[in-house]
Amino acid sequence: MTKGTPEAARHVADAHELIRVHGARENNLKGVSLEIPKRRLTVFTGVSGSGKSSLVFDTIAAESQRMINESYSAFVQGFMPSLARPDVDVLEGLTTAILVGQDPMGANPRSTVGTATDAYTMLRILFSRLGKPHIGSPQAFAFNVASISGAGAVTVERGGEKVRERREFSITGGMCPRCEGRGDVTDFDLTALYDENLSLNEGALTIPGYSMDGWYGRIFRGCGFFDPDKPIRTFTKRELNALLYKEPTRIKVEGVNVTYEGLIPKIRKSMLAKDREAMQPHIRRFVDRAITFGTCPDCGGSRLSELARSSRIDGLSIAEAATMQISDLAEWVRGLTEPEVKPLLDALGESLDSFVEIGLGYLSLNRSAGSLSGGEAQRTRMIRHLGSSLTDVTYVFDEPTIGLHPHDIARMNRLLLQLRDKGNTVLVVEHKPETIEIGDHVVDLGPGAGEAGGSVCFEGSVEGLRGSGTITGRHLGDRASLKDAVRGASGALEIRGASTNNLRDVDVDVPLGVLCVLTGVAGSGKSSLVNGSIAGRDGVVLVDQTPIKGSRRSNPATYTGALDPIRKGFAKANGVKPGLFSANSDGACPACNGAGVIYTELGFMETFSTTCEECEGKRFQAAVLEYTLGGRNIAEVLDLSVGEAVEFLGTGEADLPAAHTILQRLEDVGIGYVKLGQPLTTLSGGERQRLKLATQMSQKGGRSAVYVLDEPTTGLHLADVEQLLGLLDRLVDSGKSVVVIEHHQAVMAHADWIIDLGPGAGHDGGRVVFEGTPAELVAARSTLTGQHLADYVGA
């Protein structure tokens, strides 16, 4: 450009530098309008329930994904989740959104860290090229592919004539035939299924629900595969096989067509398909008594066949490679120099190095994906994106620091900035000040939770947030101080020789009657110590963040039992039966069966859901809504937040002490903003944990109960942590013992006793590196935790 020449006009395509949101009303959002800069890191913060996820996930990301899905053919859309358009007036400047959330990585028992990230796929190709002896293609090392062979006649057309030929085929897979690629097996104790000295008619079966007086008994009597009056010990091999293992077979019993199935496959489908927690108590007792779960003796838990394990590279089999800690496997891969597979070695090495860089080097590729915590699952998903060549993508993260030690948060922050610096827009929902402070732009929602939230309280820089006067701004610089005095222990849980996972014969005494915090870097062995040596003991109540078992009809009112006294209160006030006030019983809207929505099948396209026009989503019959208690009908009561319900159910005609007590506990644990009728499937991991804790507090566990909490600060705003600490203090002061797995420095500083595991992760951890009071930990500064806690309290 020569001097004096006017600067060239900016190209119109460069003008789209903002994501514009106008009039967002999803969930509790109150017509939110804002502009989010592209190719920057924007942090969304605010108290729990203020509307962060509604804005970021349910509005911005949901509309981006919906529009991308609509670009596919109707056939492809039939295999995709249905996404309705968010309730927003205008959304402009959207780019492709990639969600990296905390959702579990699936319950498929054959899904592993390696298969979820394609690292195991590359490892299979490597062994198919370099493994000695050569056993076949990459699928010969796949534990999801079974080895099969067959032969038969086929008809082919040759020279205008049809000719029949014999053909043979075989597929060499790597699946262990005994455990079918799962790595573990279930063994049945047959003596717990039946008394062999009795006949079926004499009540030989000891399985819950398999009475000969019921329908099962009629099927067994009429199946014709064995004599029901004959003692089981006298059954022939064929008869016993029919009783225990027969595959589903259609038969006619008493003129009715039914399906007969052997006891063991039927038990697998009806009982073992559920998580143990979801089982009824008598079913759980039977399963614990009759079934043992153990490592597959044939493959040693590697999931692979003997053939797949026989092929080696430098003396190492693929099973041994997949079991190695990823940081060690990366070193092994770097030691391979075969030029014919150099591109593959480089790609595999980069993938494994990404695990180490992201703080997951302590995992192994054969680690079950379902066993990962929410934070580990989120970081594992990030592996795919770190090496991606995509730019101008919107990455959306849901509290990426969950489960991270303060030492690891700095590493996560670098990764978020790395994604931004590649030219991407990064949106982060976060509470931790360490991550808020790296934001180029901050959006603070609130001012409160639920109906009291849904507005933008501040939008701008981090420094602007500090001086804004919002709840987040006021608490951003909060630092808890060490307690002047700590409680003394009333006893101890003795742990000796703990060796679960990476623990190295740990001997430690967990004090009782105090607030004990178990900490250490991610992968140091905290969960292994709790699950392997503390959970399951008498009086120990483990309250974690796993999903609550239940249908989409389940809500906090049904889960906690608060709905029962509410229904009875309505029934008594109106002189009718309580069943009318259940959307799952007599009072259900007949059009939607109490679901509130109607699902419409559209053939090969998506199943479409619409709000029921008859009940307008209220789930109840119109006649039921005419009955009131304290001036409100049952649908209006279920639409109240917990906090509003506590006030409503504690006064006047609606004074229901039983329900009031239950809901007061929900408010005590910090989820007063959740609605009574909100589906449990919409709750976050932290909200689920606090709901479970409130429910456990209502049960009479005795003064000696030991509560074990797994990161209770998950999802908590800085202002809510103080309320949580007060709750933990009240539990201890009431005679309970509280053990907390936690990384939050405010909880560490408030503890009476700290047990620090480490010093590193995986095989570099698994030892107790400190046990004592927080003041002693800060004074010693001998561990990573001690150094970060000292910096936090300003010591």
Over residues 128-177, the pLDDT tens digits come to: 999 999 998 999 999 999 888 888 888 888 888 888 888 888 888 999 99
- What lies within 8 Å, CB to CB, of 726 at 6+ separation is none
Output the CA torsion sign for 165, 171, 176, 180.
negative
This prediction has a pTM of: 0.77
Would you call 19 helix, strand, or coil by DSSP? strand
Given a contact cutoff of 8 angstroms between Cβ atoms, the answer to whether 618 and 596 are in contact is yes
Q: How far is residue 366's CA from residue 360's CA, in Å, rounded to a whole number?
A: 13
Given a contact cutoff of 8 angstroms between Cβ atoms, the answer to whether 554 and 562 are in contact is no
* Residue 111 banded pLDDT, cuts 50, 70, 90: confident
Which tokens go with 341?
């597979």
Q: How far is residue 637's CA from residue 631's CA, in Å, rounded to a whole number?
A: 10
Q: 154-163, 340-349, 356-365, 592-601 — which is least confidently predicted?
A: 592-601
Work out the average pLDDT over 523-537.
Answer: 88
Mean pLDDT of the chain: 86
- Whole-number pLDDT of residue 604: 41
Reference 232, options 194, 260, 265, 187; nearest CA is 194
- If residue 410 lies in a helix (H) or strand (E), which one and from where to where? helix 406-421
Which residue type is seen at 34? L
* Residue 754 banded pLDDT, cuts 50, 70, 90: very high
Q: What DSSP character marks residue 468?
A: S
Q: How far is residue 729's CA from residue 71's CA, in Å, rounded to a whole number?
A: 54
Would you call 576 helix, strand, or coil by DSSP? coil
Would you call 564 helix, strand, or coil by DSSP? helix
Over residues 757-795, the pLDDT tens digits come to: 989 888 889 999 999 999 999 999 999 999 999 988 876
Q: How far is residue 278's CA from residue 281's CA, in Å, rounded to a whole number?
A: 9
* Residue 599 banded pLDDT, cuts 50, 70, 90: low
Question: Apex CA 580: angle with CA 575 and CA 583, to 5°?
Answer: 155
Reference 38, options 19, 13, 57, 10; nearest CA is 19
Work out the average pLDDT over 481-490.
Answer: 89
Given a contact cutoff of 8 angstroms between Cβ atoms, the answer to whether 14 and 7 are in contact is no
Over residues 688-736, the pLDDT tens digits come to: 778 888 887 766 555 568 999 988 888 788 888 888 888 889 889 988 8
> What does DSSP say about strands 441-446 and 41-45: parallel, antiparallel, or unpaired?
parallel
Q: How far is residue 762's CA from residue 504's CA, in Å, rounded to a whole number?
A: 11
* Residue 550 banded pLDDT, cuts 50, 70, 90: low
Q: Is the pLDDT of residue 608 over 60?
A: no
Q: How far is residue 483's CA from residue 695's CA, in Å, rounded to a whole number?
A: 29
- Whole-number pLDDT of residue 22: 95
Question: Apex CA 155: angle with CA 149 and CA 161, to 5°?
Answer: 155
Work out the average pLDDT over 349-373.
Answer: 87
Q: How far is residue 31's CA from residue 68's CA, in Å, rounded to a whole number?
A: 25
- What lies within 8 Å, CB to CB, of 743 at 6+ separation is 403, 404, 405, 406, 519, 711
Stronger pLDDT, 284 or 37, i.e. the higher one = 37
Which tokens go with 577?
């039966």
φ, ψ of residue 2 to 5 degrees: the values are -80, 155
Q: How far is residue 59's CA from residue 24's CA, in Å, rounded to a whole number?
A: 7
Q: How far is residue 635's CA from residue 649's CA, in Å, rounded to a whole number?
A: 15
Exposure on the CB side of residue 390, measured as CA atoms within 13 A: 15
Q: Label residue 4 exposed, middle or buried (CB < 10 Å: 0-12, 13-18, 19+).
A: exposed
Q: Is the pLDDT of residue 681 over 80?
A: no
- Whole-number pLDDT of residue 606: 44
